[in-house]
Amino acid sequence: MDKELLRVVIILIGMLVMIGMLLWHFFRSLRERREADDYHEDSEYDFPGEEAFEVDEDEDEMDMFPNRVVDGDAMLDDEAIKPKPKEAPNPPVSKPVAAKQALPALIEFSIVARADEGFNGEDLFEAFERAGLVYGSVKVFERIDKNRLVDFAVASMIEPGTFPDSNLDEFYCPGIVFYMQPREVDNALAVFDDFMETIDTLAVELDGVVWDNQRQPLTAETIAQFRQMLAR
């Protein structure tokens, strides 16, 4: 056989083999695709919730997904991942304020009349005026400081604790009550000393007995204890 003819025959055979291989791969892939399609069409597997899931337009998002587990990291938006500004700490309580809070809120002493009829209104008004007490708008007597603020007050033991502004000769009360609020004054110890001096002066002038807040005779020991508390 001629060499040229042999070469042509070999080339043709090679081409036929290649074409055959290509056709074989083509039909094989086509058959596999059809089998896959037939499998999905014939399958009876139902995905969870595929038929039961229905959305009511009136329901909100939480009704639509009642038991949904949410990935918190996936739901963070730009605002959520921003670092939160540090909150300013509560300002420390200043020493003067803290010291005032440690003082007693109220000191209450009384003067009880020795006489059975009690104190007369005219005698009270005269003694209060000599002690520098002022008859206030709420009808009790008050110690007013240089800033026109009340240091302490004096009320009647008879309800509602006020003194009349007329017919003083007809007014009687068994005693008078002194009130002081240490937390509300600038210098509690100084005011307390004035408080006690006024009580002692009026007790002598009106002939009365000084009681403490327990309605017991006021002692020097009790006064010293209060002065110690107010001096802190």
Rounded-to-integer distance, Cα 210 and Cα 108, Å:
11
Task: Tell me: pLDDT of 141 over 60.
Answer: yes
Write out the two tokens for 68.
């949904």
User: 67 or 228, which is more confident?
Assistant: 228
Contact 103, 183 (CB under 8 A): yes
| Element (DSSP H or E) covering residue 146 | none
Per DSSP, the three-state class of 107 is: strand
| pLDDT tens per residue across span 192-217 | 999 999 999 999 999 999 999 899 99
**Measured between alpha carbons, how far is residue 219 from residues 88, 215, 229 in Å?**
49, 12, 16
Strand, coil or helix: what is 166? coil
Mean pLDDT of 20-40: 63
Supply the pLDDT for residue 70.
36
Which H or E run includes 131?
Answer: none
CA dist 27 to 18, 22, 38, 79, Å? Answer: 14, 9, 16, 56
Closest-CA residue to 184 (of 73, 106, 67, 70): 106
Which CATH number among 3.60.15.10, 1.10.10.10, 3.30.540.10, 3.30.1400.10 corresponds to the domain 104-230?
3.30.1400.10
- pLDDT beyond 60 at 185: yes
Domain boundaries, the chain: 1-37, 104-230
Q: List beta partners, residue 157.
A: none
Q: Considering the entire predicted model, what is its pTM? A: 0.58
Q: Which residues of 116-126 are buried (b: 16+ CB within 10 A; e: fewer)?
A: eebbbbebbbe
Between 11-15, 115-119, 133-137, 202-206, the lowest mean confidence (pLDDT) is in 11-15
Sign of CA dihedral 67, 69, 72, 76: negative
| Reported confidence tier of residue 15, pLDDT bands at 50, 70, 90 | confident
Question: Of the segments 62-66, 96-100, 118-122, which one has the largest average pLDDT value?
Answer: 118-122
- Report whether 138 contacts 115 (CB < 8 A): no
Mean pLDDT value across residues 28-44:
57
Would you place residue 142 in the very low, low, confident or very high pLDDT band (cuts 50, 70, 90)? very high
Mean pLDDT of 66-92: 45
Q: Which of 10-24, 87-101, 151-165 is modeled with the greatest confidence?
A: 151-165
